[in-house]
Amino acid sequence: MRPQITEHDALTNQTIVREMTDAEYDQLLADGWTAGEEPLEPAPVEEPVTEEPPALEEEAGEA
């Protein structure tokens, strides 16, 4: 998200907060500004694996 800019004028003692213009934001990026750490994406939820027990082989009886 584009950051804001705080401007203070020492003559009038006025401070304003505004959105950066395209030119200011382009210059900010050209100077290498980064937004910082992005929120971590939640880890994918693994589906529980249900293993079916192997089918019991019937022991063939000896004839």
Partner 1 sequence: MAVKTWTSERVTSADINTYLTNSGLVYVSQTTVGSGSATATINSCFNSTYDNYRVVVTLDCTAECEVRMKMRDASGADSTANYAHQRLLVNGTGTTAQRATGGTYGIIAFANSTTVSFSGDVLLPNVSTDATFWQMQNLTRSETIRIEMLNTLYGANKAFTGFEFTLSTGTIDSAVISVYGYRKP
Rounded to a whole number of angstroms, the minimum distance from the CB of residue 42 to partner 1 is: 21
From the CB of 35, what's the least distance to partner 1, in Å? 7
Does residue 40 contact residue 53 with C-beta atoms inside 8 Å? no
What are 24-28's contacts with CB under 8 Å, separation 24+?
28/3
Collect all residues with Cβ–Cβ distance below 8 Å to 19 and sequence separation of at least 6: 2, 4, 5
Binding mask 1-20 for partner 1 (x = CB under 8 A): --xxxxxxxxxxx-x-x--x
Interacting positions 22-51 with partner 1 (CB under 8 A) = 24, 27-28, 30-37
In the complex, the residues that contact partner 1 under the rule CB under 8 A are: 3-13, 15, 17, 20, 24, 27-28, 30-37
